[in-house]
Amino acid sequence: MGFRIIIAGETQCSAYAETCLLADYLSQNLPNFCFHCIEKSVMEWKSWLCKVNMKNKWHHKESPIVWKELLMKGSKAQYIGGASEFLDYCYSYYNFDALFSSEKYAGLLSNILQFKKKLHLENILHQLDVVKRPTLDAPPQKKFVITISGAGHLLAMHLISSLVDHKIMESDKTIHKIYLYDERCTPSFMNYIEKECSYVQTDNPGKDIKCVSKIGVALTSTDVLIILDHVPFDESKPMGTWLQGNRKKMKELALMINASGSRKMYIIFPNLGPACYNATILRNYVNINKNNIVVATSDVGMEILPVVAKVAQVPMRNIFCPPVWGFVGINKLVDIQTTIHMYNTFNPYKRYTRVRQSSLNIGSITPERRPLDYLMHFNETLWMEVAEMKKKFGHGQARLSKAIAVISLVNLWLLNPSPDHIVCLGICCDGSFGLNFDGIFSQPARFVDGRWEPATDFLMPKDRQMKLPYLIDIAKLTMTMAPEDLPEIHQYVPCSCKQKTYTIKEK
C-alpha cells in the first residue's frame, strides 16, 4: 500500500516554501514519491494548526508541519515534524543528502502554489476581458480597508487623521478600517500610535485603527496599501548604495504582498525617498495588477503654489496645481509655464460706449482657463523664493502637502471617481507624451474605466531649461546604477587668505 507526504504551512513562511521545493524535487526524480501541500493564510494558520493537533494529539507549534498517511480513506496520520525533521526523514529513507543553493531559495514565496493559483486567476480574468462579460450582479464596494506600511514615519499621523476625517466619510463609501505596520518600531511605540489615533473623531472610536505585528495579517483584507517604507539618503555614502538599500527593502515587501495581498489591491507611494524608483522596483516583483501601483507626486506642485500666486499676482484659489513631470525622488520638473489659472474675461456690449449711466447690463463676464506662461515668462526669481520658503518653514509644510496629495488620491480613486479630473501621478508609461521608459514616471493622468491613464490632451512641458528626454535618460541610468556609483562629493573650498607680495629692492 502506498502513502503520501502532507506538507502544511502558512503562506509567508520561507521554510514552508523550501520544504515544498524539496518535495517537488523528489517527486520529479522518484516515481513512487507522492506529496500534497496545504497552505493557510497568516490569519487562519494558528486556529487550523490547533485543530490538527487536537485531532491527532500532537504538539506542533511552528510552520510547516509534515506528516504521512496511507493512500486509503480513513488512514491514520503519522507525524514527521517540521522542515528540519522532514530533511532528516528524506536522508534516512531516500538517502537524500543534496543541498540547494541559496539562489534557488530566492523568491520561493512567489513561485510555489500561490503562483499557480494566481496564474489560473489571471487566465480567468483575461477570458472575461475578451468576452466582456458584464459584472452588474456584484454590488459596488462601500467599505474599504487601508494599510499603512512604515507607520512610524511622521507623515503617518497626518494621513490617519485625514483618512478618518468626517468630511471624507460623508458619502456612502467609507474607510472601514486602518491597519498600521512598521517593523522598525517597538510594539510599545506602535500601541502608543494606535491609542493616540483612537481619539480622532470617528463613528467608531477605538475600533477603526489597529496595529499589527505581521503585515500579512493586514494584507489579506487590504484594499489600499500606502507604503511609507524607504531608506533615507545619506550624504556620506554613494548614491548607488542608497538605491541598493531601497531596492532590497522593496524586494522584501514584494514577498509579503505576493504571499497575502489581493491581485486587485491598490498601492500608493507618497513622495518619500526615491519614490518612483521604489515603485518601479516593486512593480517588477509583485504579481498584482501593474496599473494599480502609483506615486502621489502632486505635492511637489502644491508646495510652490503660494510663491507662484505671489509672483504672478493671481489669487491662489484660481490656480490649478502645477504639473509635475519626472522620475520623482531622483529628478523632477514642475512646469510653471503650462500651469492653468482661472481668468474672467469682460466683453462689453455696444451700449457701454454709447449710453452713459444706463441701468442695463453693460457687458458679460466669461470665465476662461489660461496658462501662466504669459505672466511668468520673464520671471527669474521664482525658484530662489521657493528655496527661501522651504528654508524658512522646514519639513513641516512638505509633510502636510504630501498628506494632502495622498488623501486627494484616495478620495478620487475610491470614494469619488471622476474621469474629468486630471492629477499628477507616477504611473506606468505607455508611450504617451513621448515617454518610452519602462517604469513609473510622473505625468498628468486621469482615472478612466477603473484604471489610471495618461491625460494625453494636456499640454507638453514648456520649461526652457529642463526637457523630458533628459529626465528619461536619468531615470534609465538610475535603474542600472551599481552600488558604488556616484560616491560622496567632497567640497573643495579654496583658501581666501590674502597672498603676501614681496618686492626686491634694487641695490
Whether residue 175 contacts residue 208, with contact meaning beta carbons closer than 8 Å, is answered with yes
End-to-end CA distance of the chain: 121
- Coil vs helix vs strand at 176: strand
Whether residue 275 contacts residue 226, with contact meaning beta carbons closer than 8 Å, is answered with no
Convert the pLDDT of each residue in 75-98 to its tens digit.
Answer: 788 899 988 888 888 877 776 655
If we measure between CA atoms, which residue out of 64, 70, 69, 73 comes closest to residue 22?
64
Superfamily of domain 3-117: Glutaredoxin (3.40.30.10)
Distance CA 35, CA 33 (A): 7
Amino acid 53: pLDDT: 92
Whether residue 297 contacts residue 329, with contact meaning beta carbons closer than 8 Å, is answered with no
Whether residue 452 contacts residue 446, with contact meaning beta carbons closer than 8 Å, is answered with yes
Distance CA 80, CA 384 (A): 70
The number of residues making up the chain comes to 507
Domain boundaries, the chain: 3-117, 143-296, 299-479
Whether residue 90 contacts residue 26, with contact meaning beta carbons closer than 8 Å, is answered with yes
pLDDT band at 503 (very low <50, low <70, confident <90, very high): low
Convert the pLDDT of each residue in 5-55 to its tens digit.
Answer: 899 998 878 888 888 888 888 888 877 788 888 988 888 888 999 999 999
Convert the pLDDT of each residue in 153-183 to its tens digit.
Answer: 889 888 988 887 655 555 677 788 899 999 8
Amino acid 33: pLDDT: 82
Distance CA 162, CA 404 (A): 8
Convert the pLDDT of each residue in 185-231 to its tens digit.
Answer: 888 888 887 777 766 555 555 457 888 888 888 998 899 999 999 99
Convert the pLDDT of each residue in 376-385 to its tens digit.
Answer: 876 777 878 8
Kind and range of the H or E run holding 447: strand 440-448
DSSP conformation class of 5? E
Cell 499628477, residue located = 424
Whether residue 41 contacts residue 113, with contact meaning beta carbons closer than 8 Å, is answered with no
Of residues 1 and 108, more confidence is placed in 1
Q: What class has domain 299-479? A: alpha beta
Amino acid 128: pLDDT: 62
Spatial CB neighbours of 438, under 8 Å, sequence gap ≥ 6 = 429
The grid cell for 217 is: 495579517
Whether residue 10 contacts residue 112, with contact meaning beta carbons closer than 8 Å, is answered with no
Spatial CB neighbours of 279, under 8 Å, sequence gap ≥ 6 = 267, 269, 293, 294, 295, 426, 439, 440
Amino acid 496: pLDDT: 64
pLDDT higher than threshold 80 for residue 1: no
Mean pLDDT in the chain? 82
pLDDT band at 279 (very low <50, low <70, confident <90, very high): very high
At what angle are helices 275-285 and 239-260 packed, to 10 degrees? 40
Backbone conformation region of residue 263, classed left if phi is above 0, alpha if psi is from -120 to 50, else beta: alpha
**Over residues 101-122, mean pLDDT:** 53
Kind and range of the H or E run holding 402: helix 396-410
Considering 30-44, 249-263, 483-497, the range whose residues carry the highest mean pLDDT is 249-263
For the CA atoms of 428, 430, 431, 433, what is the dihedral angle to 10 degrees? -60
Amino acid 170: pLDDT: 52
Amino acid 102: pLDDT: 46
Q: What class has domain 143-296? A: alpha beta
The grid cell for 190 is: 506602535
pLDDT band at 105 (very low <50, low <70, confident <90, very high): very low
Kind and range of the H or E run holding 215: helix 215-219
If we measure between CA atoms, which residue out of 146, 104, 124 comes closest to residue 18?
104
